[in-house]
Chain A
Amino acid sequence: MKSDEQLMAAYVAGDVSAFDELFRRYAPMLLRVIGRQMRSPDDARDLVQQTFLQLHRARHDFDPSARVRPWLFTIALNLKREHFRRVLRRPEAPLELDGRSDPRVPPHDPTRSEVAQAVRSAIDGLPPDRREVILLHWFEGLSFPEIAELVGASVSAVKVRAHRGYVALRKELEPPSGNPRRPDGIGDRS
């Protein structure tokens, strides 16, 4: 299997199938990462298309000694930030829940739906840099060195953002004192 960098070099040389392969590799991941922060799936799809359009237009800017993944993700994250500045009244304003239940939670599980909504709301309330790191760390399962490369920060900075993000989430999701909530599924740690 060709590496991302080999595919990029092939595309710069004119091989269109290399672009298709890069698209198939990264479009699903970008759709997930961007989609969690967008109002609608159509906005996420539009941003993913713009990302690859920029990859196409900027292909002669690509440094053959660099890695494709962080380059591509930087473009996607910059486009996402520009989108929020253009569409929303404040940059990266947290999206308001519209009251619909989370479509990914089984409809017969209202408790889980409430928890999902609370978690989503808490994540949306995070500052953008911490939200990005949490999304990549928890939902995409990337390691801190990988996240650091994607967002263009040091590993220690990314770890600090993740820690502070999780601290904020835990505070936000703490039940009122004297009423511990015990979601299903996990045994006691004893």
Chain B
Amino acid sequence: MNCGEIRALLVEGTLPTGAAVDAHLRECAACGELLADGALLGRQMPAIGPEPVDAGVEALLGEMHAKLETDRGLSGYLRARSTPLRLVLALLGAALLVLSQLLFARRPDLELYPLGAMVSVLVSYALLLGSTLAVDLRPLQRAPPPRWLWIGLVASALIVPLVIAAGPQVHTAHALANRGAGADLIPRALRCFLYGGLLAVPLLLLVFALDRREHRSWPSLLLAAASGGLAANLSLQCHCPITHPFHLLAGHVTIAVALLFAYAVIGAVRMGRARNGWPA
């Protein structure tokens, strides 16, 4: 006797008895609960009858085909790539951003910038960006990331640029190093904010195209925003010669803040609509 046979007897209204039942109950505590106390629970569970056979499966399959038809084009192609390949594509996108700055808009003080400091900043941003993308593009057949992980990554996307910006000024050797302080603060900061923000847009679009979710959850929205902020700071690190902390805080770090705020607003609006039963 097994659980299914005991269940079948209870559903047809027969109380399971006999040596075979007793032998099963010695090994199965769950069935023991169903039959305990005069089968109190086992008598009541069958009150919820079998679900009616859904005659609409073919219609649902038809709707499914229509959905699959719309899942074509470049984004359909990208979303259907394997997860390792999607991650590589996202990282390549970030690498192209950095390369574009190094080739066409390199910071003029690169030779004066302490090598150790430059390497640590670039490696920190790259590792954090890679981790954020890996968690954001995680496939749905795997368990969702634990809360501490995605919150930690989003917080790090704010904290790491903040720490880098607020630390001791790496050098003042170049004429442009202290631009962006005093009266020049806001215009220069705004310029970098807009430039870095625009640089982040292609990566944000790429991450959107690679994400397989139909409905984005809070973690995926905020991780995407964090990726954009990190990519912007990484690119600006290769472009902007101003090392003054005020400029870095006002013009570079604020990009991540703005993106996180924007995505949080989008997420709140969408979830409010979902709770009210409106289309997302």
B175 touches A (CB below 8 Å): no
Contacts of B92 in A (CB 8 A): none
Contacts of B13 in A (CB 8 A): 184-186
Judging by beta carbons under 8 Å apart, are A53 and B52 in contact?
A: no
How far apart sit A75 and B79, CA to CA, in the bound complex (Å)? Answer: 16
How far apart sit A88 and B144, CA to CA, in the bound complex (Å)? Answer: 18
The B interface is mostly helix, strand or loop, or mixed, namely helix
Contacts of A32 in B (CB 8 A): 51, 54
B143 touches A (CB below 8 Å): yes
Minimum CB distance partner of A49 in chain B: B64
**Contact digits for A8-20, partner B, Cβ 8 Å, 1 yes 0 no:** 0000000000001
Judging by beta carbons under 8 Å apart, are A119 and B44 in contact?
A: yes
**Total inter-chain residue pairs, C-beta < 8 Å:** 172
16 residue pairs bridging A and B, Cβ less than 8 Å apart: A20-B61, A24-B61, A28-B57, A31-B57, A54-B212, A57-B80, A58-B212, A82-B144, A83-B215, A86-B217, A87-B275, A105-B47, A141-B4, A166-B30, A170-B37, A173-B44
- Per the 8 Å Cβ criterion, residues 132-190 of A in contact with B are 137-139, 141, 143-144, 152, 159, 162-163, 165-167, 169-170, 173-174, 180, 182-189
Judging by beta carbons under 8 Å apart, are B30 and A162 in contact?
A: yes
How far apart sit A18 and B279, CA to CA, in the bound complex (Å)? Answer: 31
- Per the 8 Å Cβ criterion, residues 11-44 of B in contact with A are 13-15, 17, 28-30, 32-44
Which residue of the partner chain, among A23, A35, A152, A169, contacts B61 with CB atoms under 8 Å?
A23
Contacts of A116 in B (CB 8 A): 47-49
